[in-house]
Amino acid sequence: MLDNYNREKIISTANKLRWEIGENLYDTLMESIYQNAKEIADKAVTYSDKKPPFSLDRTLDKVLTSKFSGLPIMLLMLAIVFWLTIVGSNYPSSLLAYILVDSLHPYLKELLTSLNFPMWLNGLLIDGAYLSTAWVVSVMLPPMAIFFPLFTLLEDFGYLPRVAFNMDALYRKAGAHGKQALTMAMGFGCNAAGVISTRIIDSPRERLIAIITNNFSLCNGRWPTQILIATIFIGGIAPAYLAGFLSAAAVIFIAVLGIFLSLLVSWFLTKTLLKGEISAFSLELPPYRPPRILQTLYTSLIDRTIFVLWRAIIFALPAGMIIWLVSNITVENISLANHFISAVNPIAFWFGLNGVIFLAYVIAIPANEIVIPTILMLTVSQLGLTEFGAGSGVLFELDSISDTAQILYSGGWTLLTGINLMLFSLLHNPCSTTIFTIYKETKSWKWTAVSTFLPIILGLTITFLTTQIYNLFN
């Protein structure tokens, strides 16, 4: 009892004293801290006037964060990074596909046959699990090995806070927190990482907005889809000398559309579900530092590239098996996959897509990386194209992009399908890892559901509109 008395006395004394000090305790406190800091620093620090500090930084910042040149330079940098990634990954990609898919796959298949594996197990393991993994490696490794180091170099140099600085005004106009620009930039690498990085935002309201809109940053699992489809359908209709440039431009358009939509949705949320004040914050622009090139190359390759690739492989293995199963288990002589596809096709055509794409997005919920291989495989098994691939449920890589194009065209794809797939790839549910991360961060099923379904609704709306417009002109 005595204990209790003493404790209550502490609390009541504090309450009493709080009134005596007045309401501005926090200000008094901060003032004292600043005052103390200044006194100590004045004693210990001397500034020589041999040159004005940070002169080079200031000059660079004048250009990189200027009202006029800031955003164009940002877009130009993005363009260079993507162009290098698209052009640079072509050759290594087909080389890897040649080794892993064209050479190793038939060899493994024969090996298991000679070991008397049952047909179904052979198919499940080699045509399902192995091939999907091999495809993911050959299509993802080269672009990631180029994209991540380039991005990390920019990050090491100190460019990212400048991006946030440039975007800050736009985000504030949308009623969101300026730091959302930083979390958006993280999302370009991985949305799950982007969602975690929203912890730098103080206000729960603004943090929630940043979490919900992070999915509008194209993550690296979706870059390969964008790049491949842009190369086939956009690059395909352009003259050869413009193809690379136009494909890169199309990918940038989608990425910028994502940024625009994240602003638009943020604005919509602050006007409806998440009304409130914009909180102020200070953004520190760190000095530019010369990137440590070798170390950056090493860490971005080992930590980022291999890490993301490993994740993709882990998800590709079971997904490959599931694809093989739904393509080979038949009900009334028609595979499960084809049942689904023919049921969904009539609806999908409203959105300029098809049943194959919808099924691929269901199977690929764990990882966006495997959307394209799933689409190709399902298209082939549905058409019964025997000259490609190795039978139903077999994921495969095609030697050249023109082979891929040929399959998609014979599957009834048009320029519209290509454009809408790029749009839908930007605007659909986050992958399961991201959904789980959103739940962990928000602890709310409601907001997890909003983050999951809002992009799908947006995606279907936009693809519906593009389809109607496209049909008007054709």
Partner 1 sequence: MTNKENPNCANCPVHNTGNLKKLGINMDNFDFVVALAGNPNTGKSTVFNYLTGLRQHTGNWPGKTVTRAEGGFEYAGKKYKVVDLPGTYSLLSTSADEEVARDFILFGQPDVTVIIVDSTRLERNLNLVIQILEITDRALLCLNLIDEAKRNGIEINDRILSKQLGIPVIPTNARIGQGINELLKMISEIATGNYICKPFKMKSNSQELNKSIDEIVELLIEEFPNLPNKRWVALRLLEGDQSIINSIRSGELGNLNDFKISSYLPPDN
Cα–Cα separations (whole angstroms), residue 272 to 261, 267, 412, 456: 16, 9, 41, 19
Nearer to partner 1, 51 or 67 (CB): 51
- Minimum gap (Å) between residue 57 Cβ and partner 1: 9
The interface with partner 1 within residues 140-169 (CB under 8 A) comprises 152, 155-158, 160-161, 164
- Minimum gap (Å) between residue 287 Cβ and partner 1: 6
Cα separation, 417 vs 402, whole angstroms: 17
Cα–Cα separations (whole angstroms), residue 43 to 36, 38, 47, 49, 450: 11, 9, 12, 17, 54
Tell me which of 140, 144, 170, 201 binds partner 1, using CB under 8 A: 201
- CA dihedral sign of residues 212, 216, 220, 224: positive
Output the six-digit token pair for 159: 């460019």
Asked if residue 201 lies in contact with residue 179, where contact means CB atoms within 8 angstroms, the answer is yes
Tell me which of 80, 256, 302, 314 binds partner 1, using CB under 8 A: 302
Nearer to partner 1, 3 or 387 (CB): 3
* Residue carrying the six token digits 């000059």: 59
Q: How many CB atoms neighbour CB 450 within 10 A?
A: 18
Q: Which stretch binds partner 1 (CB under 8 A): 192-200, 224-232, 268-276, 322-330?
A: 192-200
- Minimum gap (Å) between residue 177 Cβ and partner 1: 11
The interface with partner 1 within residues 411-440 (CB under 8 A) comprises none
Q: Which residues pair with 58 in a beta bridge?
A: none
- Minimum gap (Å) between residue 193 Cβ and partner 1: 9
Residue 334 host element (H or E): strand 334-335
Tell me the Cα Rg of the chain: 27
Nearer to partner 1, 182 or 407 (CB): 182
> Mask: binding to partner 1, 205-234, rule CB under 8 A, as x and -?
--x---------------------------
Cα separation, 33 vs 36, whole angstroms: 5
The interface with partner 1 within residues 5-64 (CB under 8 A) comprises 6-11, 13-15, 17-18, 20-21, 25-26, 28-38, 40-41, 43-51, 53-54
Nearer to partner 1, 285 or 365 (CB): 285
- Minimum gap (Å) between residue 432 Cβ and partner 1: 17
Asked if residue 350 lies in contact with residue 467, where contact means CB atoms within 8 angstroms, the answer is yes
Tell me which of 276, 292, 347, 471 binds partner 1, using CB under 8 A: 292
Nearer to partner 1, 13 or 402 (CB): 13
- Minimum gap (Å) between residue 69 Cβ and partner 1: 21
Asked if residue 425 lies in contact with residue 371, where contact means CB atoms within 8 angstroms, the answer is yes
CA-wise closest residue to 223 among 193, 255, 196, 246: 255
Nearer to partner 1, 106 or 286 (CB): 286
> Mask: binding to partner 1, 234-273, rule CB under 8 A, as x and -?
----------------------------------------
Q: Which stretch binds partner 1 (CB under 8 A): 166-174, 302-310, 325-333, 384-392?
A: 302-310
Nearer to partner 1, 10 or 331 (CB): 10
- Minimum gap (Å) between residue 215 Cβ and partner 1: 19
Cα separation, 463 vs 416, whole angstroms: 9
In 79-202, the DSSP E strands lie at none
Nearer to partner 1, 193 or 372 (CB): 193
Phi-psi region at 262: left, alpha or beta (left = phi > 0; alpha = psi -120 to 50): alpha
Cα–Cα separations (whole angstroms), residue 333 to 327, 337, 339, 396: 11, 12, 10, 24
Number of residues that bind partner 1 (CB under 8 A): 69
User: Cβ contacts of residue 320 below 8 Å, gap of 6+?
Assistant: 128, 129, 130, 131, 132, 133, 370, 395
The alpha carbon of 372 is separated from its chain's Cα centroid by a whole number of angstroms, namely 15
List interacting residues with partner 1 (CB under 8 A): 3, 6-11, 13-15, 17-18, 20-21, 25-26, 28-38, 40-41, 43-51, 53-54, 152, 155-158, 160-161, 164, 179, 182, 196-197, 199-202, 207, 282-284, 286-289, 292, 299, 302-304
